[in-house]
Amino acid sequence: MADLETLRRRLTEAEAALHDLQTGKRKVSVSRNGTSIGYANSASDIANLKSYITDLKAQISRASGQGVGRRVIRNYF
């Protein structure tokens, strides 16, 4: 897993790319695991980019200790 600063930089880059797509830019690229990945202004690419952003946020949460130990609590009666 990448360090926290790298994850935050990737998140900033991905969120900026999503903003560009949603405001009319036709194509953007994001560096992911050392590879540049292109996204077009299509519903599936926007969904993929949002999924990547969600994944980055989860990784940041785990790396900063915020996501550790959380689970569903069920009440049984």
- d(Cα 49, Cα 24) in Å, to the nearest integer? 15
pLDDT at 16: 94
Residue 1: pLDDT over 80: no
pTM for the full predicted model: 0.75
pLDDT at 18: 93
- Residue 35: what are its φ and ψ, rounded to 5°? -120, 140
pLDDT in tens, 53-65: 999 999 999 988 8
Residue ranges and CATH numbers for the domains of the chain are 4-63 (3.30.1580.10)
Say if CB 32 and CB 52 are below 8 A apart.
yes
Residue 69: pLDDT over 60: no
